[in-house]
Amino acid sequence: MRRTTILRTGLSALLLLGTWATASTLPASAADVPPRSAEAPASSGLLSAMQRDLGLTRGEAVARLAAEKTATAVEHKARNAAGSAYGGSWYDAGSGRLTVAVTRAAHADAVRATGATVRLVRFSARQLDAAKKRIDALSAPAGVGSWHVDPKANKVVVDVVAAHRDDNDVRAFLTRARAAGPVTVRETPSAPRTFAAGTVGGDPYYTGNVRCSIGFSVHGGFVTAGHCGSPSAAVYGWDRSYIGNFQGSSFPGDDYAWVNVGSGWWTVPVVLGWGTVPDRLVRGSAEAPVGASVCRSGSTTHWHCGTVLAKNETVNYSQGAVHQMTKTSVCAEPGDSGGSFISGDQAQGVTSGGWGNCGSGGETWHQPVNEILNRYGLRLHTA
């Protein structure tokens, strides 16, 4: 791709790339935009999306981001203070504070000293994770959507598709799941599905007849969803020029992949908005707690925000189960797969799948970015 071509396309080329985290293929005009001040709470694009999707005023959005940043820092300290009594944690948007569950009252004061609120529970996070692992070993029928540890409920939550709640195979699965540990059952309106799509012109990247969205830049390439392409598959950009190949890909079981970048394309550590100038720089990958706000960008539905609903969830797609996913209230649609989830200026993960759409709402899962980086020995491209 010649530099003159990139410069000539200007902002329209930027919009066609369609990633939060950008990708490898940012035009020179994007890289030349001066970075925002490190003190800025967020870009106008991020704040606007939070106002639209979370029903906040601009001031409330700014305050929430600041409170969530504090909660993320507190979570690490509180987990250490709780030790083996740690039962999980979640952020409460109403109070603006992190709540930490502990199984022994003797640890409460040490956890409170970190700035967290404390709740006494019966089961530790280690016990709940062990129960979930036993459920992971079961064969789940199509009527079971997913399951995860819910620290607030202090149980493993199994989501069952409402129309299949009374199916014999679903009932049998729930009986076995309850034998594995503390379980509660909730209903979901639809079964989860991945968000890849057939080829549509003017979108970020293509492989075969599939269109997906670029995730986050890493040194040497970008990360994305595993169901978007198999190892060695060729990848082409928005203009159909060759970018690189899938260097690693895993799906099901996991849903992550990475693509090398070359042939005139390069990586930049920024998050892009749609219809706006490039958004905030990516500065790290600190994991946001349950309850925190999170936003997503993809090539189909662009920017949308919501909250983190659960972590370490097993999602039962028709192609097979995928483990260690993060569930959010953010909507998505086909073609958004692989796109980036971000909280403030911290990379969170790449879009995998979900149910619903951005007209009527829904839920979406992402594969945590730190897991992808560790799996392939990659380094996130940060400012």
Q: Which residues are catalytic?
A: 227, 255, 337
- Report d(CA 173, CA 144) in Å as an integer: 8
The single-letter DSSP state of residue 369 is H
CB neighbours of 133 closer than 8 A, spacing ≥ 6?
none
The answer to whether residues 40 and 280 touch, using CB atoms and an 8 Å cutoff, is yes
The single-letter DSSP state of residue 105 is G
- Report d(CA 68, CA 97) in Å as an integer: 8
Question: Which one, of 13, 9, 21, 31, lies nearest residue 237 by Cα?
Answer: 13
CA 156 to chain centre: 20
The DSSP result for 221-288, as a single string, is EEEE-GGG--TT-EEE-TTS-EEEEEEEEE-SBS-EEEEE--TT-B---B---SSSS--PBP-B-PPP
The SS3 of residue 70 is helix
The single-letter DSSP state of residue 181 is S
Question: Which one, of 325, 326, 337, 329, lies nearest residue 301 by Cα?
Answer: 337
The amino acid occupying position 100 is V
